[in-house]
Amino acid sequence: MGCGWGPFLNYLREVGAKGIGLTLSQGQYAACQRQGFEVYIQDCRRVTPEDYGTFDAVASVGAFEHFCSVEDYKAGRQDQVYRQFFKTVSDLLPWGGRCFIQTMVFDQGMIDLDKFDINASKDSAEYLMALAANEFPGSWLPYGKEQIINNARPYFNLVTHHSGKADYIETIKVWRRRLKRFGWQKYLAYLR
Ligand SMILES: C[S@@+](CC[C@H](N)C(=O)[O-])C[C@H]1O[C@@H](n2cnc3c(N)ncnc32)[C@H](O)[C@@H]1O
């Protein structure tokens, strides 16, 4: 759910499993099609068994962040959005089916939305959160794993959880190194 450019679908192919991906992006859909992945443009929060049948497992890597909008949060609908999502997923699974979610969460120390300030000092939470909100205007994160677990509970038992914070910091470092590395294709795109 939220398959992006298809890395998880690629992994499934490598291990010999069959999967389909959902994205909201036309560009990602086209790129996945070129790689021979079965992908559809659809809001995964609304998918039903009538759409593509049922599954052994559902995975979502880095999309949960986008399920609750700032407007939903302001209207007090965050829990409702997550609960509805887990209901949607559970309807796609048999009894005992697995759901894997990877998401960023707000940690202790998260500040209130009305404190976000793009003019605040650059090392402050106020400034960094204003930057993040500009970058992801339609997204609001869950408050810790607890909010996810609580809203999944009517449909799922928690089997395991893991903090990938250190892994993500390393991932971002690698992304930055690759982004800065010179390449003609990148340079031409930049000139355009
Ligand atoms: C940060 S990307 C992660 C992509 C991929 N899972 C990965 O790990 O590279 C977020 C993806 O979630 C998708 N997405 C966000 N909200 C969605 C929704 N409601 N329904 C379907 N896809 C959604 C976006 O279109 C995008 O493909």
CATH number for position 120: 3.40.50.150
Task: Report the number of distinct structural domains present in the chain.
Answer: 1
Domain presence at residue 177: yes
Residues contacting residue 140 through CB under 8 Å, at least 6 positions apart: 68, 69, 70, 72, 73, 78
Pocket of ligand 1 (CB under 6 A): 1-4, 7-8, 22-25, 28, 43-45, 61-63, 66-67
Cα 174 to Cα 167, 171, 178: the distances in Å are 11, 5, 6
In the predicted model, what is the mean pLDDT of residues 9-16?
97
Domain presence at residue 9: no
pLDDT above 90: residue 170: yes
What is the band of 109 on the pLDDT scale with cuts at 50, 70, 90?
confident
Range of the domain at 182: 43-191
Q: Which residue has the tokens 């959902």?
A: 22
Tell me what pLDDT residue 108 has.
Answer: 87
Give the SS3 label for residue 21: strand
pLDDT above 90: residue 137: no
pLDDT tens readout for residues 52-83: 999 999 999 999 999 999 999 999 999 999 99
- Of 35, 52, 66, the one to substitute when testing ligand 1's pocket (max ligand atoms within 8 A of C-beta) is 66
Domain presence at residue 77: yes
Domain presence at residue 28: no
Per the DSSP assignment, residues forming a β-bridge with 106 are 143
